[in-house]
Structures are given as structure tokens and as C-alpha cells.
Amino acid sequence: MAAAAPKASDGVKPIHSIVLDAGPIIKNNPPVSTLLKQATELITTPSVLSEIRDPATRTRIETQLLPFVTQRTPKPASLRFVSEFARKTGDRGVLSKEDLEIIALAYDIECERNGGDWRLRREPGQKGINGTPPKKEEAKPEEKEEKKQEESVEALTEKVKEMDIEGTNDTQNPSAEASATETAQTGPKADETEETTPEQGVVRPKADETEETTPEDDNGDGEEDDESDGGEWITPSNIKKHQIKDADALGEEPESKVMQVAIITSDFAMQNVILQMNLNLLSNANMQRIKQIKSYILRCHACFLTTKDMSQQFCPRCGKPTLNRVSCTTSSDGSFKIHLKKNMQWNHRGDRYSIPKTGTNSAAGRMEGGGKGGWGNELILAPDQKEYTRALKQEYWRNKKEHDLMDDDYLPGILSGQRAKGGGRVKVGAGRNVNSKKRHA
């Protein structure tokens, strides 16, 4: 599950620092151009670059990526903290030192850029973050410039409003003067009669004031009608006011926050630790923030122990071959959930047959033993059997052995008749059907 990538304003990149793992660097996904567009600084550890052995890949990295990448080593205290956190989540056994250094480096930059680890978690499964954002005592120069710009915009809006008020008064005064002249022309006799009484002459301006207020009332009714019809009309006198309103409306949109540090990796164990620490994790496909990941673990059906070592065939606690592969999800809030099948029933096929007696103690080897076809011989039922240890060694050397195609003595298996079963895992138990047809070489 990925969230939309943060969008920054013009001239400001949405991410300040991106910490790169070996996987995205080797695969060139995302490409260098995309990283430079999204981030201000690209950072990695020297050990990650030393892992790359392919000559073509090293040449590409040295020419295209290294000029823009900063190499940095994390602090020992951060490395110890990340190692302890990974041990608590159960991922320490599958994480290398280079993986821990990448997470520790992101932890260092997070504390530097945000003034501490207040937005991270110290323990797996912790509810909420460590604390609240620190109060900024002194504003940064960029913030001071933004405040100055906001103050200048507010001053301009006030000036424009004053100009609009003066303009509306000027437009309303001619109508009042016209009404006053009309009353003066219609009632000359009243003025002549009122001149003989000085007290009434004092009262006359009140009538004029009442007459002057009537056009304003009429205009107010008209404005209400205009507003009810669809808003105020744009005229040369109020066009500046509308422009300022539009600018304010655009300025009131919430500004996008710049992500201080993020990690790009394709390792599921690293992603699990990163999300539980509440560090920012980005997808290497579309540069969006990952808020939930899905992975698989092994869960014992007998004692309910969970392990993230997918190579295990026996439970580390009870020693039974009852490990099931189950899916699990890790969310950005640090919650870890295991998804189990509803009403799951354990399959007992192959377990209801009694184990036959082996033929190792038969007299002079006359009895083969081990049941029909010798299916009971060398059964692996526990992790401490010598048969299991020997089978693991054979599997290791078989996987490690590499055939040189240019060797004169090498002969493909299709010509030599060599056959090998697929999968390569050691067979535990007799299987689900002990009477199944055996594969012949």
C-alpha cells in the first residue's frame, strides 16, 4: 500500500535526503534522473558501494551516480539502537551489517533534520510516537522571507480595500447630490417659507440627510438582489479586490511539507524495521511513500512460535516439523498482523502409518527392513538426527557447486544421464502417501 508522493512548490523538491540501498543502485530503479528531480541530496554508505562487484554496473555507477551521491558512515550509537530494534522485531538474524548501517544512517539524518527522534518509535508496537515537535525559538531565514511576503500581501490588500471604499463613496455621492438638487428644484417655496423661521432652518439638513440615506437603502436592496442573482458584478472599481481575493484563495491552500529523509530498499526485512520505526519508506517503482507491506513468515502449528527464517524446517522451540508459511502485514503505525486461515485443520495424511522397523540389525543382512520398498529407512523426524545434518551438508555443496561451461571435462546432464529432483529441500518424514510410486533414475 502506497500513498501519494508529496508535491512541493516551484523550486522546492519534495524530499530533502534519500538513503539508497544496494538493490535500487544495482537495478537502476528508480533512475538517477528521477532521484535528482525528487531529492536534494542522495546519500549511501561506503559498504554498499563496495558490495557491487559487476564491472559493467560499477562503471555505470561511477559515471552516472557517484558524482551526485554523498558517502557517509552512521554513528556507532545509532547502529546499536537499530540493531537492538531489529532484534526485538525478529529481523536481526536476516539483516546484514550493511543493511543495519543503511537504517542507522537514515536514523541519524532524521534526528538531525527534525531536531531529535520525536516522530519515531523506540520500541516495536509502541502506540504513538516518542514526543511532540520541538518549539522553534528562532525563525529560519526562509521563514522570515515568507513572513515578510505575507505581511506585504496583507498591506496591499488593506490598501486595495481602502481604495475600493473610496471609489464606492465617490460613485455613491453623485446620486446623493442629484437627489439633493432634485429636492431643491421641486421645493423652492418651502425653502422661502423656511427662511423666515431660523429654528426651522436648522432642522432642514435632517430632512436632507434622510433624503440622502434613501438612495443608499435602495442601493443596498439592489446589492442583495445582485448577490442573490449570483454574486457581485466585477467592475473597473472592484476588479483589484477580486484579484486579491483570488490570490488569497490560492495562498490559503495548505503548503506541501518537505519530507526530510526517506529510504529506498527492496529488502522485506529492512522494510519491516523501517516501518515499525516510523521512518519514511519509498517505493522504487513510483517514488511513493509505502505505508503497508506484505511479507511471509513461518508459524508453528503446535506451539504458535513465529520465525522469519524461511529456511527452517523444524520449529526452533518444540522441534516438530509443524511450520506453516503464513502472510503478515506491517503498517506505518507500527502494528504487525498475522493473517491466518479461518477454521484451519492440520493435514494428517502420512502420519497415520506406523514407522516400520529398520533393517540395520537384521542378521547377515538377509532382511531388507524399512517396510515395502524400504520407505522407512533413513527417515528424518528430528533436527538433531545425523541423517538430517548429512542431508543439509549435501544440499549446501550441491547448491554451491558451479559447473564451468568452458571446461573440457564438463558434460551436460542431458547427455550424461544425470537426474536431480527439483526444489532441493531436504525431505522430512515419509511424505503424505508412503505407497506412492518411487521415481527411478
Query: Residue 188's pLDDT is what?
Result: 47
Q: Looking at residue 99, what is its pLDDT?
A: 94
| pLDDT value for 169 | 52
**Weakly modelled stretches of the chain, pLDDT under 50:** 8-9, 139, 175-184, 186-223, 226-228, 250-255, 440-441
Give the model's pLDDT for residue 189.
46
Q: Residues comprising the binding site for Zn(2+)?
A: 300, 303, 315, 318
What pLDDT was estimated at residue 90?
82
Q: Which residues are annotated as a binding site?
A: 300, 303, 315, 318
pLDDT of residue 184: 46
Looking at residue 356, what is its pLDDT?
76
pLDDT for res 418: 59
Q: Which domains does the chain have, with CATH numbers?
A: 2-133+256-293 (3.40.50.1010), 147-251 (no CATH), 294-364 (no CATH)
Contact indicator for 282, 30 with CB cutoff of 8 Å: no
- Distance between CA atoms of residues 164 and 240, nearest Å: 8
The whole-number pLDDT of residue 243 equals 73
